[in-house]
Amino acid sequence: MSAHQIFKTVRVILRPLRRQNAWLLRKAEGIPKALIPSYQKGTYPKGSARIVNNALQRMWQTCRKTKQIPLDKQISSIVKKNKVLFLKVQTELIPFRVKEVNDMDELLLGHYNSAVVWLKGNKWVADVQVEVEGKYVDGLPEAVVGIDLGKKHNCYSIWVNNKEIYRGFDSYGEYHRTFMKITDDISVLQCNFKGTRKELSKALNPLYERRRQLLRQYYGTLRNKILSHIPEGFNPVFVVEDLEYLPRAELTKKQRAWASAELANGVFANGIEWNGYKLVKVDPRGTTHTCWNCGQKVKSRNDRKVTCVTCFPLGLDRDLNGARNIARRYLFKQYQPINNEVVKRAIN
C-alpha cells in the first residue's frame, strides 16, 4: 500500500532589484521566440496539423503577452538566507514573499519541483509547484464525509459501507464574535472611506487577510475533530459543495452575493488539500430542498428544519439533510444506489 503524491501550486510575489528586473525582461523576451509555431505539412497525424498549430499559436501568444519563463530544478532553486526566502535562477538571488499561504518555508525548501515566472501587470510573480504527501492509501476502504458549511453552524455526516456511522454539528464558538467584528469593520470602512477604489482595496486587504486567517484556524480544528471520528484503517474522503458549479446567470442577486461572499468552502477545501486528504466537490443544487432518503422535494420551515411527508413529517435539520445529500452524491458515483431510483433521478 502506498500513498498518492499531490502536486500543489504556490503563488509567490517576486521582489527583484532594478538590474534583476531588466535581467528577467531580457530572459523573458527570448522565450517566445523559441516557441513561434510553424505549419509543417506531414509532421502531424492526418487532419490534426491545424489543431496542433493553433494550440501552439495560443501558447506562444500567451507567453509573449505575460513574459512567461518556465523554470526547472536544474536551472533554479529556492534558498533561505538570513531568514529570507530567495528564488535562485542561475546566479541571481531574487527575494520573494508568499501570497495567501502561511508557514510555507519548509515546504517550499524541501519539496520545490518547478516554477513559471511571469509578469502580472507591473509585478513579477512565480507559480511554484510543490509536492505534498497524500494521506490517501491505496487498498484501504473509504470513509466519506459529507459537509454542509453554514454561516451559523456546520454539519457533517460520516458514511462507511453506504451507512451513516456518525453525524455532528459544530458551531464557530469563540471564533464567531471575532469573525463578526472583522466583518463589521470591513462594512464600516467601505461606507466611510474617502479615496480611490485602489486605495480602498489596499486598506481592506489586512482585514480580509485577518478573516481568512481566522477561518483557517477554525477549519483546522473542525478537520481534526472530524478525523477523530474516522475508523482506523479507512481513507477519509471529504465531500463539499462546488459553489463554482452554480450558473451565475440563473441566480438571483441575493444568491450571487451569497456565493461570492462564501469563503468557507474555499478556505476549508484549501486546508484539506494542503494536508494531503482527498477532496471531492459535487453539484450543490437541490442538496437542501431534496429529501436525502427518498429524493422528493421537501418544505422549509422557519426553525431551519425541512419536512418530508413520507420520511420526516416532524421535521429534520436542513443542514443535516444537506450534509447527507452531499455525501450520498459522491457515494452514488462510486457504488450502486440502495435500490432507490427516486434518489438516483434527483441526483442525475
pLDDT tens-place string over residues 320-348: 999 999 999 998 875 444 444 443 444 44
Q: What is the average per-residue pLDDT within 55-71?
A: 82
Residue 100 has pLDDT above 80, yes or no: no
> Rounded to whole angstroms, how far apart are CA atoms 264 and 149?
7
Q: Residues 317, 154: contact at Cβ < 8 Å?
A: no
Residue pair 230/168 in contact by the 8 Å Cβ criterion: no
78 in Cβ contact with 89 (< 8 Å): no
Percent of the chain with pLDDT over 90: 17
| Bridging pattern class, strands 299-300 and 305-308 | antiparallel
E strands in 55-150? 69-72, 76-81, 84-89, 92-98, 112-120, 123-137, 142-148
CB 307 within 8 A of CB 301: yes
Task: Give CA–CA dist 323/325, Å, rounded.
Answer: 5
Tell which wins on pLDDT, 10 or 43: 10
Rg (CA), the chain: 25
150-164 per-position pLDDT tens digit = 777 789 999 998 899
Question: Can you list the domains of the chain with their CATH numbers?
Answer: 3-134 (no CATH), 140-347 (3.30.420.10)
Output 124 or 270, whichever has higher pLDDT. Answer: 124
Higher pLDDT, 341 or 183: 183
Check whether 38 has a pLDDT greater than 60. yes
Decide if pLDDT at 262 tops 60: no
How do residues 273-287 score in pLDDT, each as one tens digit? 888 899 998 888 888
Among 85-89, 150-154, 300-304, the minimum mean pLDDT is found in 150-154
pLDDT above 80 (res 135): yes
Collapsing DSSP states into helix, strand and coil, what is residue 108?
helix
Confidence at residue 336, expressed as pLDDT on a 0 to 100 scale: 40
pLDDT for residue 345:
44
pLDDT above 80 (res 208) = yes
In whole angstroms, give the CA distance from residue 170 to residue 13.
36
What's the pLDDT score for residue 261?
47
Residue 46 is predicted with a pLDDT of: 66
Question: Residue holding cell 523576451?
Answer: 29
pLDDT tens-place string over residues 251-261: 666 555 555 44
275: closest CA among 330, 320, 238?
A: 238
Q: What is the largest CA-CA distance in the chain?
A: 73
For 97-102, what is the mean pLDDT? 64
The CA distance from 154 to 257, in Å, is 20
Q: Give the global pTM.
A: 0.74
Name all contacts of 96-103 with Cβ < 8 Å and 24+ positions apart: 96/12, 96/13, 96/14, 96/15, 96/126, 97/12, 97/13, 97/15, 98/10, 98/11, 98/12, 98/13, 99/11, 99/12, 99/13, 100/11, 100/212, 101/10, 101/274, 102/213, 102/216
pLDDT at site 159: 94
Given a contact cutoff of 8 angstroms between Cβ atoms, the answer to whether 294 and 343 are in contact is yes
